[in-house]
Chains A and B, each alone.
Chain A
């Protein structure tokens, strides 16, 4: 397929515009942010300082925000794994048209703006919303209830937003394996659950791992859904950064928070790249 071209001019000319663009618009901003996070206020001369990081590690408020972000992301990821694996398994072993319908079911919400999906959840979770109405009509609760400004509300909405990433990643790894090994296992006398446990599950581990790393990374940095559902009472990392940038204008601190979030993401993304690459072989 690839030409072992002795002339490097042609690919170089083709790739240069994109490379220059990425360096200027993607890598330079990242480095710039890194440097802003260790530079003090201009009033103090703007020298090297670790005060922004110190502020994060010494202020109980931010420790609470980071802890909440981490805890919610773990719950969201585990829920996505538990729902995502059976759904992906059913999808990959269904007849063609069922699979197409199910893929549509996953992709249509994924392609809809996160703002709109979150809006839907506000109407469902809020006072006088769908859940409240259903429970009230069923006589289970006397008054209107609301899951707005609760961690459960954030988890419910976030799982809906992120589940497609989990399902599509696991589906990819299941499709690469194919149903033949499962059939062989059944022919040799293994039962249905035995086959799932000893064949399908182990074979989809790379997909489950890379899917959940992706979901976790997206979850710790997600902004729209936690901000609108959780509101100011339940700030997460991304919301605090937005607050620093647009409200307090403390950009050095915002940069430090972003660098910490980026660090946490990279710790997850590097194994993700490793797992998803080895799964493809």
Chain B
């Protein structure tokens, strides 16, 4: 900035940023710190250093089956959400048709409506018209809350595309499947991949839709963590949470490396 920033303001900014950084990160740090505690209880500062809680988690059937459910759920959600979202994003970005901007707003609306309200509505529908909540119900719920992310990332990727490419392929006599397979979908690839990372992360982390759509035989990791927090959490919850934080860090770093977080947020 011309004229410079006053020295006091610079100092104050550094202090402010440091304070916010601590505030934002301390909950994660505390969880990671508690996971290596040797004691039976969650206390601060942790007493002793031990990896025993990781051992307990890896031998616990409850956690392992919840982890399996979570991964399956996230993967199925990724496939469905990316497929539906990509085709809708192509329609909304590449074509001009009546009601297009209204439909865009419609597809992004799950982003701003609280997932809690939507989850209750879905639970009521599944209880009245299906056999109650189920794995399928959870997939449906997660596809709805993740669809806007796929539409946003794929639309952003298509906005960078040279519009003449599709036109050229059309004029050169490409059939519809040649156009999609060789021209349009390759252009969507980065957007689809970024969308898939978001979808996986959101579905893997979600507890709100999962808690309302709770089926007797389906338990995901966030549901398991929530119920143990309601009663008496021990450091094994911290160990599971630390593993999940690790997965999130990897996803965020990959997203940032490949697409640039500043561009897609």
Contact = CB atoms under 8 A, between A and B. Distances in A.
Contacts of A218: 114
A265 B123 contact: no
B207 A3 contact: no
B90 A14 contact: yes
A245 interface: yes
B226 to A, nearest CB: 5
B94 A3 contact: yes
A14 B87 contact: yes
Interface string A128-142: 111011000000000
Contacts of B143: 21, 25
Contacts of A118: 27, 229
Contacts of A228: 226, 229-230
A182 B147 contact: no
Nearest to A99: B262
Contacts, number: 278
Interface string B193-233: 00000000100111110011010000000100110011001
Contacts of A113: 204-207, 222, 225, 241, 244, 248
Nearest to B210: A115
A261 B114 contact: yes
B144 to A, nearest CB: 5
Interface string B49-93: 000000000000000000000000000000000011101101111
A3 B93 contact: no
B21 A28 contact: no
Contacts of B44: 123-124, 128-130, 132-133
A266 B140 CA distance: 23
Interface string A4-28: 1100101110110111011001101
A5 B95 contact: yes
Name A's interface SS. Answer: helix
Contacts of A267: none
Interface in B11-57: 13, 16-17, 20-21, 23-31, 34, 42-45
Given A1-B159, A228-B229, A87 B17 contact: yes
Contact of A116 (B26, B88, B166, B225): B225
Nearest to A244: B120
A258 interface: yes
B177 interface: no
A108 B248 contact: yes
A114 B121 contact: no
Interface stretch (A29-37, A44-52, A58-66, A201-209): A29-37
Interface size range on B against A: 35 or more
B96 A192 contact: no
Contacts of A195: 1
B261 interface: yes
Interface in B105-147: 105-107, 109-110, 112-114, 116-118, 120-125, 128, 140-141, 143-144, 147
B251 interface: yes
A116 B228 CA distance: 12
A11 B91 contact: yes
SS of B interface (majority): helix
Contact of B87 (A17, A224, A245, A261): A17
A15 B27 contact: no
A106 interface: yes
A121 B2 CA distance: 42
B186 interface: no
B103 A15 contact: yes
Nearest to A168: B265
B252 interface: yes
A168 B24 CA distance: 14
B124 A124 contact: no
Nearest to B110: A26
**Most B-side CB within 10 Å, residue of A118, A220, A258:** A258
B256 interface: yes
A119 B17 contact: no
Interface string B231-246: 0010001100100110
Contacts of B256: 100, 104
Interface string A229-263: 00000000010011001100001001100100110
B1 A183 contact: yes
A115 B226 contact: yes
A120 to B, nearest CB: 3
5 contacts: A2-B96, A3-B166, A157-B27, A160-B24, A246-B214
Interface of A: 1-5, 8, 10-12, 14-15, 17-19, 21-22, 25-26, 28-30, 32-33, 36, 83, 86-87, 90, 93, 99-100, 102-109, 111-124, 126, 128-130, 132-133, 157, 160, 163, 168, 179, 182-183, 186-187, 192, 195, 214, 217-218, 220-224, 228, 238, 241-242, 245-246, 251, 254-255, 258, 261-262, 265, 269, 272-273
